[in-house]
Structure 1
Amino acid sequence: MISHRNLRAICHASLGTNDVAKAKSFYQPLLATLGIYLVCDYPHAVAFGKGYPEFWLQIPFDKQTASVGNGVHFGFVATSPQEVDEFYRVAMTLGAKDNGAPGPRKEYGEPYYGCFVIDLDGNKIEASYWHQENA
Structure 2
Amino acid sequence: MIENRLLRSICHASIGTNDIAKAKLFYQPLLAVLGIELVSEYQHALAFGKGYPEFWVQLPFNKKVATSGNGVHFGFVANSTEQVDKFYQLALSLGGKCNGKPGGRIEYGEPYYGCFVVDPDGNKIEASYWHIDN
- TM superposition score category, shorter chain reference: over 0.9
Distance in 1, matches of 2:48 and 2:11, equals 13
CA deviation profile, 1:61-81 (whole Å, cap 9, x unmatched): 111110000000000000000
| Unaligned stretches of 5+ residues in structure 2 | none
The one-letter amino acid of 1:18's match is N
What's the TM-score once normalised by structure 2's chain length? 0.97
Number of residue pairs the alignment of both structures matches: 134
Q: Residue in 1 aligned with 2:14? A: 14
Q: Residue in 2 aligned with 1:86? A: 86
Q: Residue in 2 aligned with 1:41? A: 41
Q: Give the secondary-structure state (helix, strand or coil) at the position aligned to 2:40.
A: strand
What's the CA shift for 1:2?
1.6
What's the CA shift for 1:3?
1.6
Distance in 2, matches of 1:47 and 1:24, equals 10
The one-letter amino acid of 1:133's match is D
The one-letter amino acid of 2:89's match is R
Distance in 2, matches of 1:55 and 1:16, equals 11
Distance in 2, matches of 1:5 and 1:45, equals 21
Q: Residue in 1 aligned with 2:73? A: 73
CA deviation profile, 1:46-70 (whole Å, cap 9, x unmatched): 0100000000000111111100000
What's the TM-score once normalised by structure 1's chain length? 0.97
Distance in 1, matches of 2:91 and 2:66, equals 21
Distance in 2, matches of 1:50 and 1:23, equals 18
Q: Verify: 1:61 aligned to 2:61, yes or no.
A: yes
Identity %: 72
After TM superposition, what 4+ stretches of structure 1 lie above 3 angstroms from structure 2?
none
Distance in 1, matches of 2:40 and 2:63, equals 20
Q: Residue in 1 aligned with 2:119? A: 119
Q: Verify: 1:131 aligned to 2:117, yes or no.
A: no
The one-letter amino acid of 1:37's match is E
Q: Residue in 2 aligned with 1:31? A: 31
The one-letter amino acid of 1:123's match is N
Q: Give the secondary-structure state (helix, strand or coil) at the position aligned to 1:132.
A: coil
